[in-house]
């Protein structure tokens, strides 16, 4: 068995619990320290999980820590990733990878210069739902993919989130917040994108916080909150993506991929499991397909895959390059909307290798 990676986490907010608990599933990972700008929050998290509380500076200076997870707010993802790399450590960050393409490219180039790896959420595409759909497509069950649709349509997180302001400020909005799940799943299924177009708008000037200590407070909306995008993939398919914080209800599919021989319906890519269904040429009813991969995996599988890949000198799946390509896809829609024309991609990325069938919980392929 490979020697476990000693891991540090910067950022002890809501998502940190998912990583700290998820890491315990994978023998390749050993979280040893956490840091936060709020020392009290870092100490509370450290005490809860039996690790060391650090300042950001002391965590980055700890020579035993090889890999750092960046769970900071989106506007500093790129700068914190650079600090991690400059400290000589591999970096794995929450989505989005960055807020503009140039700073994302800087992170990738710095990692290459330092001989280090960069990874990025989401890793939900490694769950049983999307991996089962990937196998169906790879096996040719639905024939050659020709088109796809993806929909994330809701009315925003302000009704339940205790601190929802950042969702409506620079670096927020439904595309940068939720788009990574849907676009990462599509790139995993169909490969890289070559061009995109679309439209975006902001439908409500302000939002009202609905719960917690800030209930009743107003939020000024500074970013688009509804996006409709069309993406042309290198391999041929065209995908439509609708993503919104402006919708009260809908009956659209979450993700469907349409092939020359049939259709595969894919579960919510913000989860690791779900129901996969297929309807083939001539069939009147949908058929539920048993999951070929485990749906018991959890947040940190992308981190564990990266650690395993480093130990075994193979590419990792939730890579910085994949996240950079997805970032460009998210930014392409408002750019196309503003310019009134197709946006041609600067980046590309190989389709991530599918997970093998039959891996045990906590196991990854060498």
Mark whether 147 and 118 lie in a shared domain: no
Q: What's the rounded Cα separation, in Å, for the pair 250 and 265?
A: 17
CB 277 within 8 A of CB 287: yes
**Rounded distance between C-alpha atoms, residue 326 and residue 205, angstroms:** 28
User: Residue 96: what pLDDT?
Assistant: 96
Is residue 302 domain-shared with residue 183, that is, in the same domain?
A: no
Do residues 94 and 163 both lie within one domain?
A: no
- With a CB cutoff of 8 Å and minimum separation 6, the contacts of 247 are 153, 154, 155, 226
Shared domain check, 65 and 50: yes
Assess whether 142 and 176 both reside in one domain: yes
Query: What's residue 336's pLDDT?
Result: 96
Domain annotation covers residue 344: no
Asked if 140 and 275 sit in the same domain, the reply is yes
Please give the average per-residue pLDDT across 322-346, as a whole number.
97
Residue 273 sits in a domain of what CATH number? 3.30.360.10
pLDDT classification of 295: cutoffs 50, 70, 90: confident
Q: Are residues 119 and 132 in the same domain?
A: no
Are 314 and 218 in a shared domain? no
Are 115 and 55 contained in the same domain?
Answer: yes
CATH number at residue 63: 3.40.50.720
Tens-digit pLDDT profile for residues 74-88? 999 999 999 999 999
What pLDDT does residue 48 have?
97
Q: What mean pLDDT comes out for the span 190-207?
A: 96
In a domain, 191, yes or no: yes
The answer as to whether 213 is a domain residue is yes
Q: Are residues 157 and 246 in the same domain?
A: yes
Q: pLDDT value at position 162?
A: 83
Each residue's pLDDT tens digit, 340-362: 999 999 999 999 999 999 999 89
pLDDT reading at 1 higher than 80: no
Mean pLDDT, range 34-59, rounded to an integer: 97
pLDDT, position 171: 87
For the chain, the domain total comes to 2
CA 351 to chain CA centroid, Å, is: 15
Provide the sign of the torsion angle of the four alpha carbons 307, 310, 315, 321, taken in this order. positive
Asked whether residue 66 falls in the same domain as residue 135, the answer is no
3-state SS class at 287: strand
Residue 350 lies in a domain: no
Instruction: Return d(Cα 43, Cα 47) in angstroms, integer.
Output: 6
Q: What is the pTM of this model?
A: 0.95
Q: Which domain holds residue 13?
A: 5-123+298-319
pLDDT in tens, 101-145: 999 999 999 999 999 999 999 999 999 999 999 999 999 999 999
Check residue 260 and give its pLDDT.
98
- 226: in domain: yes
Instruction: Say yes or no to pLDDT of 337 above 90.
Output: yes
- Structure confidence at residue 319 as a pLDDT band (50, 70, 90): very high
Question: CA-to-CA distance for 33 and 73, rounded, in angstroms?
Answer: 19
Does residue 64 fall inside a structural domain? yes
Distances (CA, A) of 73 to 109, 172, 339: 22, 10, 29
Looking at the structure, do residues 136 and 283 belong to the same domain, yes or no?
A: yes
Domain presence at residue 327 = no
Q: What is the pLDDT of residue 298?
A: 85
Note whether residue 339 is domain-resident. Answer: no
């Amino acid at each position: 068995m490979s020697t476990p990676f000693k891991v540090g986490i910067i950022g002890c907010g809501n998502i940190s619990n998912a990583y700290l608990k998820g890491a315990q599933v994978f023998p390749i990972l050993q979280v040893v320290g956490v840091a936060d700008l709020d020392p009290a929050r870092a100490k509370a998290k450290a005490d809860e999980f039996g690790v060391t509380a650090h300042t950001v500076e002391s965590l980055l200076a700890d020579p035993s820590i090889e890999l750092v997870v960046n769970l900071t707010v989106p506007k500093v993802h790129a700068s914190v990733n650079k600090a991690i790399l400059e400290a000589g450590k591999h970096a794995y960050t929450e989505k989005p990878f960055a807020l503009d393409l140039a700073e994302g490219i800087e992170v990738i180039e710095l990692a290459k210069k330092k001989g280090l790896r960069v990874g990025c959420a989401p890793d939900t595409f490694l769950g049983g739902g999307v991996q089962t759909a990937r196998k169906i497509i790879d096996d040719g069950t639905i024939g050659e993919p020709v088109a796809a649709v993806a929909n994330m349509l809701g009315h925003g997180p302000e009704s339940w989130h205790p601190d929802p302001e950042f969702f409506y400020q620079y670096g927020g909005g439904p595309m940068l917040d939720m788009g990574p799940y849907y676009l990462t799943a599509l790139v995993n299924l169909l490969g890289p994108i070559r061009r995109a177009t679309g439209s975006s708008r902001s439908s409500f000037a302000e939002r009202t916080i609905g719960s917690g200590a800030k209930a009743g407070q107003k939020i000024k909306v500074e970013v688009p909150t509804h996006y409709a995008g069309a993406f042309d993939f290198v391999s041929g398919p065209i995908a439509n993506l609708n993503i919104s914080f402006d919708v009260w209800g809908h009956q659209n599919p979450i993700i469907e991929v349409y092939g020359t021989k049939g259709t595969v319906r894919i579960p919510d890519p913000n989860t690791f499991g779900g129901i996969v269904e297929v309807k083939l040429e001539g069939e009147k009813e949908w058929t539920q397909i048993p999951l070929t991969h485990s749906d018991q995996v959890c947040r940190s599988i992308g981190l564990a895959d990266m650690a395993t890949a480093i130990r075994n000198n193979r590419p990792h799946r939730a890579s910085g390059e994949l996240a950079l390509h997805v970032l460009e896809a998210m930014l392409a829609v408002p750019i196309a909307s503003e310019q009134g024309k197709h946006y041609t991609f600067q980046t590309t990325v190989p389709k991530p290798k599918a997970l093998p069938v039959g891996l045990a919980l906590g196991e990854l392929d060498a």
